[in-house]
Each structure stands twice: as C-alpha cells, then as structure tokens.
Amino acid sequence: MQQLLTTEQMRAADQHTIRREQITENDLIDRAAGAFVSLFAVEYPDRNLAIDIYCGPGNNGADGLVIAGLLQQMDYQRLIIHLCDFDGKAQPAFLVKLEWVRKKKLTIRSLGVVSDFEAFPNGIIIEALFGSGLNKPLAREWAELIALINQSGAHIVSVDIPAGLPSEGVINPDWPVVEAELVISFQRPKINFFFPESATAINGFIIADIELDEGFIQQQDGVFHLVTENDIKQIIKPRKRFSHKGTYGHALVIAGHEDTMGAALLASSACLYAGAGLTTAAIPSSGLTALNTALPEVMYVPSLRLSDKASLQSYSAIGAGPGLGKSTETLNKVSLLLDAGKPLLLDADALNCLAQEKTLLEQIPAGTILTPHMKEFDNLFGKHESWWERIETARDWTKRKQFVIVLKNQYTFTINEQGKVFINPTGNPAMAQGGMGDVLSGIILALLAQGYHPAQAAITGCYIHGKSADKLARCQATIRASELAAGIPQILYELTK
C-alpha cells in the first residue's frame, strides 16, 4: 500500500532526503520545480500560452519562481511572475530563488495590494501561494486574492496543493480556497484530496515524483494508505489447477423483498462473477421465478427457513441487507446473524435495522464487514459535520470492536481492525446509478466465502468493483450495475496474470 503522509511526515521525508543525499533545501526546491514543469509541459504543451505565476513568500512561492525560470528555458514565451507578500515575511529560500530568477530577465510584478491583480483571460495561472501546512483561515488580503484568481477565467494549476486547502484534517467549507483545474502535487497526493469536501478546490491531480526516500516514507507510522494495483495482485489468489466448486466456498445472500428483488439479483450475480464456488440466495418465494430465470446458477432457500444457527452452518460466509426492507423480520434476521459464528457482511437494510436497534452494534462480532454510505453511516454512529469526523468515528469503532467498515463514496474508504484507512483509487462518476452497492456487497461476499481475511476482502472487492467500472467508462457515459457485475471475471483475469 502506498503510504500517505501528513504535513509533518512530509517535512520529515524532505529533511531525511536532504541529509541522506547531502543536498540543500534549495536543491530540493529545484528538483520539485523540475518535476512540476515536466508534467506541466505534457498537460499544456502550447509554448504560446499566456501564463501568470502567482508566488507567495514561502517555499511554495520559491517553487513557483523556479518553475517560471524553467518554463522560460523550455521556450514558453508569455510568462509574468507576480510576487505576493502582504505582510513582509518572505522566507530565506524564496529570497534566494528570487535573486536567481531576476537574472532571467522575466517580467516580475509585485502585488502590494489586491487591487493590482491581473491575469491573462483564458490563460494559465500557476498558483504557488502557500503549499501544504495551512491550518488556519487566511487573512483578508489573501482571501480576496484567491477570490480574484477564481474569478479570472484562467485555467488554474496549483503547485502541490491549492491555497487555502489543508493537507489533512477537517476541511472548513467557509475557508476561501483556490479552485484548481489541475494540481501537480509532490511525491504523494495529500490526504484531503480524497475527501468529498475537496471537490471545489481540485478538479484533478497528478503526482510529480521528487525522489524522496521511499524506504523512509514507507516506514512512517501512517494511518492513510492508497491502494495500488500491485497490492491487489499480491492479495488475489489464482484459481488452483486441482480445484472444484467446494474449494471456493459457499456464499449465502440474504436479500430482496417482493418489491426489491433486483437488489437480490444484483448481489447474487456479483457473487457468482467474483468467484464464489456456490451461491445461495435467501429470498421471498415470490422472487423464485425471477431468480431461476435470471441466474440459474444460484440456488434458492426460502428466507423464512433461516430461523436458527443450525440453518446457517453449511455456508462459508453470509451477506445480508440489499433490498431486505426495514421490518421486524429483518431485525430478527440480523440478530440471528450476529450470533451465527460465520464470516459476515452487513449492508443496506441490515445496517438500517442496526441503526434502529443500536444496542446490537455492541454485539457485532469481530471480523464483520459493514458497508454503509454516508447517510447509513450517520444513522448508525450519529450525525457528522465532515468526512474527516466520520473517518475518526469509524477508526474508533473498528479498533474497539475489531470489525471492518467500508465507507462508500467516490473514493471508498476501508477501515480495518487496527483503525488503518485504505483508500480505493478506482471508480468514476458513470457509476452513479442504483444497484452499485448491491454489486459491491456481492463481490466482497464472494471473497469472504473464498477465505480472504475480511479487510483484504473489502479492499480487494472495492478495487475490482471500481476497476470494472473504469473499463466500461472508457466508452460509456453511464454504467448499469448489471453491466459492472458482468465485467468482473475479465478484471479478475487481468489481475491474476
């Protein structure tokens, strides 16, 4: 997993690299600026673009100054540097780089008052005002400058992080923040890039490798980890040559109501496609014809027959919730499952029933996987004002009760039993349709049935889910959940080869 760094950890990595390589802070600034420019030139290759570089008085501004000089060397013709220092606190590195860039005979303007702001219409603004580490509201002049940058009509490219956005912690919606078309961030994406509240500030981001010591970074005691495809390839177990349906477990899907059989069909189909050896659907008898027609490979058990622990013992793993409905019957079923002694996944209406009877939260067995979206999470654990607070609550619960939470969003967070957070990078807006959560539950359940550790099943299931959607989104604006499910075998094939 790719370790994500807090601001302090990033500073420590900078200093470690400086000591290890026997270079200076200014050398590292040059390296970062060079990495930025290499990516910028790919994204914006037109050398006649009008580019305004707005530089603050710190190291981020120093990056901006070197970026301007390097762009000049790459034959970008229309460059203007704007020096922004409203309080006279320029840092030493900034002053060194300012002296260097003055020798380049670039156009340099000092922005003493906000009313002096100017930018090329439809040009590029490279924003290098603050960088990471900001943890308080900006002074009035800076807030006004950010507002003018956002209103300029220019394409905004931020250096490392948009000004006003904290790298980690609660994102205050009232704080002014640069609204960047693109962020070119150094070494690692910042933790807050993956939180929904950052959407205004970041339309997209790419990472510039500035060659910090990766060994040192991976040794940091971090909470947040970005899942990579290589991680998933190491987790997924190839199918054995001498194997049979019993090798890959028996999954029980408890889902569906007479009005919501689609949820049961989607979860069951995903379970099949994700490789469970046997899949049984516990559904109302009214759904049997639909099940037999759509999914002849899935076995049927009347949901009413699951009345005690003995009726559950033949299953390798159990998933419950999609389309069940919020009823006394569902609540009783959930209570039974909590005492079944089987690997368990709870989704949708199973979670809604837990929210109605919160005493059951304390009875959730270790290793259980909960897969709420934001509203379901808040119903379970109380209202939250920010996603950062939700993650903190999830970490507290998972560490105390030793279960796993999959908190669904554009970037889905899996929080394991140690309170570590694993961020899923796959998936896209084309998935914003009903049934996607049912498919995700089916995938994770199939992996549970095959014997994967709960956290690994959750992390891997989320990745496969989004990866299937990403493949479809190459040529589709929207994706149906059933299409996504049907693409799972191809994704599994690619990940095991």
Q: Which residues are annotated as a binding site for AMP?
A: 408-412, 437
State the alpha helices, DSSP H only, in 111-239.
140-151, 214-219, 229-235
H helices within 1-139, ranges in order? 7-21, 25-43, 59-73, 92-102
- Which residues does the annotation place in the binding site for (6S)-NADPHX? 263, 323, 373, 438
Contact 222, 4 (CB under 8 A): yes
| Cα–Cα distance list, 302 to 268, 291, 474, 477 (Å) | 15, 12, 40, 38
81-119 b/e with 16+ CB inside 10 Å = b?
Answer: bbbbbbeeebbebbebbbeebeeeebebeebeebeebeb
DSSP helix/strand/coil, 250: strand
Angstrom CA distances, 220 to 22, 50, 217, 388, 412, stand at 21, 41, 6, 21, 23
Known binding positions? 263, 323, 373, 408-412, 437-438
Burial class (CB in 10 A: 0-12, 13-18, 19+), 244: exposed
Buried/exposed code over 21-42 (b: 16+ C-beta within 10 A; e: otherwise): eeeebbebbbbbbebbbebbee
Q: For residue 416, which phi and psi values (nearest 5 degrees)?
A: -90, -175
- Name residues whose C-beta falls within 8 Å of residue 212's C-beta, 6 or more positions apart in sequence: 13, 14, 16, 17, 187
Rg of the chain in Å (alpha carbons): 26
CB atoms within 10 A of CB 214: 14
Residue 273 · residue 341 · CB < 8 Å: no
Across 148-213, where does the E strand assignment appear? 155-159, 182-186, 205-208
Interacting residues of 246 by C-beta distance below 8 A, sequence separation 6+: 277, 278
Which amino acid is located at 403 in the chain? Answer: F
Strands 278-283, 299-302: pairing kind: parallel
3-state secondary structure (DSSP) of residue 407: strand
Residue pointed to by tokens 């495809």: 229
Torsion of CA 334, 340, 345, 347, to 10 degrees: 0
